[in-house]
Structure 1
Amino acid sequence: MQVPGPFEYERATTVDHAIGLLERLGSTARLVAGGHSLLPMMKLRLANFDYLIDINDLHTELGFIVVGDDEVRIGAMTRHRELLESDELARVFPIFSDAERVIADPVVRNRGTLGGSLCQADPSEDLSAVCTTLNASCVIRGPAGTRTVTMEDFHRGPYETAVGDGEMLLEVRIPLRPRGSSAYEKVERRAGDWAVTSAGAAVWLNDDGTVADARVGLAAVGPNTTGIPAISAAMAGQPPSEELYDRAAAIARDACEPATDQRGSADYKRHLAGELTRRTLRRAVQRIGG
């Protein structure tokens, strides 16, 4: 039976308490909430820490979804289940409910958090693609104060984020823009599995019906595919059409760098990247009309 190495356990009661523990314990400490990604890595000895700081009590402070006039704020301790069940969030960003329906299983969704998903920074992780697609920003706090970074700057590479020693992710902020909608699709080998390939899309239209902006994020097809600026540039100012979706699909295929593994060949994943890009863009535009 695989077991993690020895570690000490602390339980934080407030954000300030958690940051104080991180500062005192140093780089050998790690925050844990749901633990569905961290603990398996510790059991495999892929990650080893002297201290685990339990932050589940911080749900009262960081478990929230606030839809304002110009932005949506989501606390880092918001559970997957809460993201799935929020009608207000689904109204402005249906991509969240699309994604949450295909994330893991009810056990994981009841305990796993938005912050845990983003901080894992796994290239196959669904909510990283969702938040990048929506042009989200991340609020980080540490002993030196609070700072805000874009999702592009938050994810520095596979399993690496902008959250430094002694810091923690507090919330995600997503700008609200008129005449827009979004969608997410995922191909998986079985329900709740990691994606073979997934794609999220968000589209905003001008008053004349042309595309004001469009963003696509891919997951599970290599690093640096959670935002594809070339698709935004190709679609801006154009009327939505099947030809335009085909052009975006071709860009997505060229932008990704999938690897052949037990989930499928690189060519198959590249094909999926294009097809899912086409589908999600089409559905996002249809939702604006709807």
Structure 2
Amino acid sequence: MQIPASFDYVRASTVDDALELLARHGPESRVIAGGHSLLPMMKLRLARPEWLIDINDLFELDFILLDGDRLRVGALTRHTALLESTEVARLFSIISDAEAVIADPVVRNRGTIGGSLCQADPAEDLSTVCDVLRAVAVVRGPGGERLVDMNDFHRGPYETAVAPDELLCEVRFPVRPRSGSAYEKVERRVGDWAVAAAGAAISLAEDGSVEAAAIGLTALGLDGTVAEAEAVLLGRQPSEELFVEAGRLAAIACDPVADQRGQIDYKRHLADELTRRVLRQACARAAQTQEG
């Protein structure tokens, strides 16, 4: 039986209370909500916090709100809430796509967007989604509130820009006109970590050409988005030939490792194929919004 090292536990009542507890107990304290990432690491003693600060009562961080030209999502919003939101599905199909393939209903009912992003696992789906959507994280600490672009939020495997005395409170997604997005994942079995996955977000100009593009890969050794593949799309009309070229560049840009989930050549093939698929779907969805 795997048993965590001993720790103390306290339940925060507000964001300010949570920040005070983080400051009091120092860098050896960890925040917990769903716990589906942290608890397994504690059982393996890969994480040994002295204090767990439970934030499940911070209802002020549980919301999905369309605010002008941005969608605001509280860090304590559960995966199930994102999956079931008609507003999220209408604006960002990529989130709905990803949430449908995250783990299983038990995990989705308890896990949160904030927990997923702060875990910063290289195979974590929502990190890629937020990179692709150019999301902005709202982080609070003793010095007040600060905004962190998602490409600066993740600093490496299991490492983020959130300091030990800070708390991720919100994620903001910019809403762009004539836009579509998509996410696809290959896994060994339902609910497993990705062998490989890809996400894309496309904005079209009035003439139907690609005005803005973002492509991200999951579990393929790539930090951030695929700049070369994005650049080749700009200013051009969507076509199968264009998607093939972008997929080829994505396969070149990624840096997968061979493991029990597959060999390097196989994973590069997936990067190519999945990039084509999500671009095809994202462009089709963007065209639908343009027609609407």
TM-score w.r.t. length of structure 1: 0.98
Q: Is the 8 A contact 1:179 1:204 kept in 2?
A: yes
* Distance in 2 (alpha carbons) for counterparts of 1:204 and 1:85: 24
**Aligned letter for 1:243?**
E
Residue of structure 2 in register with 1:39 after alignment: 39
* Distance in 2 (alpha carbons) for counterparts of 1:279 and 1:4: 42
Residue of structure 1 in register with 2:241 after alignment: 243
Structure 2 counterpart SS, 1:56: coil
* Distance in 2 (alpha carbons) for counterparts of 1:4 and 1:255: 39
Structure 1 counterpart SS, 2:48: coil
1:223–1:209 Cα change, 3 Å: closer
Q: Percent same amino acid at aligned positions?
A: 62
Q: Is the 8 A contact 1:158 1:223 kept in 2?
A: no
The 5-angstrom pairing of residues 5-20 of structure 1 reads 5-20=5-20
1:26-56 alpha-carbon deviations (Å, 9 max, x no partner) = 0010000000000100110111110000000
1:224-243 alpha-carbon deviations (Å, 9 max, x no partner) = 1x311222211110111111
* Distance in 2 (alpha carbons) for counterparts of 1:229 and 1:76: 28
Gaps of 5+ in 1: none
The 5-angstrom pairing of residues 224-243 of structure 1 reads 224=223, 226-243=224-241
Residue of structure 2 in register with 1:261 after alignment: 259
Deviation at 1:160?
0.3
The 5-angstrom pairing of residues 167-246 of structure 1 reads 167-224=166-223, 226-246=224-244
* Distance in 2 (alpha carbons) for counterparts of 1:273 and 1:50: 40
Deviation at 1:69?
2.5
Structure 2 counterpart SS, 1:20: helix
Gaps of 5+ in 2: none
Residue of structure 2 in register with 1:129 after alignment: 128
* Distance in 2 (alpha carbons) for counterparts of 1:223 and 1:246: 19
Worse overlay, 180-189 or 215-224: 215-224
1:156-202 alpha-carbon deviations (Å, 9 max, x no partner) = 01110000020010000111110001000000000000000000000
1:79-103 alpha-carbon deviations (Å, 9 max, x no partner) = 0000000001100101111111100
Residue of structure 1 in register with 2:268 after alignment: 270
* Distance in 1 (alpha carbons) for counterparts of 2:198 and 2:3: 35
Deviation at 1:223?
4.1
* Distance in 1 (alpha carbons) for counterparts of 2:7 and 2:161: 25
**Aligned letter for 1:117?**
S
The 5-angstrom pairing of residues 54-73 of structure 1 reads 54-58=54-58, 60-73=59-72
Residue of structure 2 in register with 1:288 after alignment: 286
Residue of structure 1 in register with 2:277 after alignment: 279
Deviation at 1:255?
1.0
Residue of structure 2 in register with 1:100 after alignment: 99
> How well do the aligned residues superpose, as a CA RMSD in angstroms?
0.8
* Distance in 2 (alpha carbons) for counterparts of 1:33 and 1:44: 19
Q: Is the 8 A contact 2:121 2:158 kept in 1?
A: yes
Q: Is the 8 A contact 1:34 1:116 kept in 2?
A: yes
